[in-house]
Amino acid sequence: MSTSPPPKAVPDATGHFGPYGGMFVPETLMAALQELTDEYAKAQEDPAFQTQLNHLLSEYVGRPTPLYFAERWTEKLGGARVYMKREDLLHTGAHKINNAMGQILLAKRMGKNRIIAETGAGQHGVATATVAARFGFECVIYMGAVDMERQALNVARMRFLGAKVVPVTAGQATLKEAINEAMRDWVTNVRDTHYILGSALGSHPYPMMVRDFHRVIGVEARRQILDKEGKLPDLLVACVGGGSNAIGLFHPFLEDTAVRMVGVEAGGERIETGKHAARFQGGKLGVLQGTKTYLLADDDGQIQLTHSVSAGLDYAAIGPEHAFYRDRGRTEYTYATDAEALAAFQEVSRVEGIIPALETAHALAYVTVEAPKLGSDQIIVVNCSGRGDKDVEQAAKHIFGDDVLAQDTP
Ligand SMILES: *Cc1c(COP(=O)(O)O)cnc(C)c1O
């Protein structure tokens, strides 16, 4: 497995994707971000780094992941041929570990001995705690107190892995507050600590670096679909929280202008203030947690409440690179509501025997709408970003109601 080096076009040297991105951080973090940028540039040129990363990706993380032809679902939808990129089969159950593994190798190169991270649903926390255990680093995970209750299973996993999980009780006590707390820790402990940020968000160099560590998804998918079908797909689909799994799939296809790319945001209950997390539906330009991008804010710039049935999509800002390609018309964005995602969760579980993460279910919901509109000679590749084990309890409540054990599936 080898990952071809990423194109250097964007971002520029200060992390700008056109008007988006940049480095909006306290002065005290600038030296650490510069060190990280320099070390990352060196690592990219270092064949030993790439060899070690590729070795760990294949032996420990479980790459390459299959590109699976969803035969029964395709038949049922009655249109395009649907392929699923199976990131859900990776160690720890989601794409997040591609990035966590890359970053811990960088931390090692920089001589750090302590790792911190934020987490929402807990998937990034688990991936980070996993690589920290693998390399013997001290590890502290910041997590909103509300999320800790909703995702108790992942809290236990992180603790088994030897990480300290710190509850954050400020504000909404969810992901945004957890990131604030992680940044506060970093400012204080920057000399011996590396912050493994979990999505294509935050200050430069994170959006670029996280993207690059996930490009392997698209690099593999491109080669696999050419092997299987002898041509490129017509449409790529991925769910978009911060945007890391989506940009990882999309990026190696950017130059293939005949390939449409659609990101699916969380429509929540409906598109109304406080009820969703679809930043391109009523969002505006602003700065949040290190980067300038589209976000959900009021007229005074105050960040609005967000809602999604999937914690991993429930964040007020989108990665800056997505905003950049959207302006250029290269990528498109739509949304799926909680109800649509839950319906797709059920359908794909039953028809394919694959229980997807609720985040992933948003992308699958769009496929159920779009595939029937396309011809049987057309191809869709959808990124199956994670598996649904973590969501079983929540999905059961929605689908079976309170009486989970008494009922067969409705
Ligand atoms: C975290 C997560 C997401 C959302 O994050 P992105 O950075 O947008 O990819 C999507 N799917 C799964 C399974 C996740 O764990």
pLDDT score of 5: 44
pLDDT score of 9: 77
Q: Residues 267, 335: contact at Cβ < 8 Å?
A: yes
Q: Mind listing the pLDDT tens digit for each residue in 117-170?
A: 999 989 999 999 999 999 999 999 999 999 998 889 999 999 999 999 999 999
Shortest-distance Cα residue to atom 10 of ligand 1: 359
Q: Mind listing the pLDDT tens digit for each residue in 198-225?
A: 999 999 999 999 999 999 999 999 999 9
pLDDT score of 181: 97
pLDDT score of 2: 42
Q: Mind listing the pLDDT tens digit for each residue in 12-53?
A: 999 999 999 999 999 999 999 999 999 999 999 999 999 999
94: Cβ below 6 Å to ligand 1? yes
DSSP string, 31-49: HHHHHHHHHHHHHHH-HHH
- How far, in Å, is the centroid of ligand 1 from the Cα of 52? 25
386: Cβ below 6 Å to ligand 1? yes
pLDDT score of 90: 98
Amino acid in the structure at residue 285: L
Amino acid in the structure at residue 201: L
Q: Is residue 3 pLDDT above 70, yes or no? A: no
pLDDT score of 6: 46
- How far, in Å, is the centroid of ligand 1 from the Cα of 264? 11
The pTM (predicted TM-score) of the whole model is 0.96
For residue 108 the two structure tokens come to 């090692």
- How far, in Å, is the centroid of ligand 1 from the Cα of 278? 14
Out of 174, 355, 359, mutate this one to test ligand 1's pocket (max ligand atoms within 8 Å of CB): namely 359
d(CA 260, CA 176): 31
154: Cβ below 6 Å to ligand 1? no
pLDDT score of 402: 72
The set of residues, in sequence order, having a beta carbon less than 8 Å from that of 145 and lying 6+ positions away, is 167, 168, 169, 173
Q: Is residue 4 pLDDT above 50, yes or no? A: no
Q: Is residue 407 pLDDT above 70, yes or no? A: no
The mean predicted confidence, pLDDT, of the chain is 95
d(CA 297, CA 279): 9
- How far, in Å, is the centroid of ligand 1 from the Cα of 37? 24
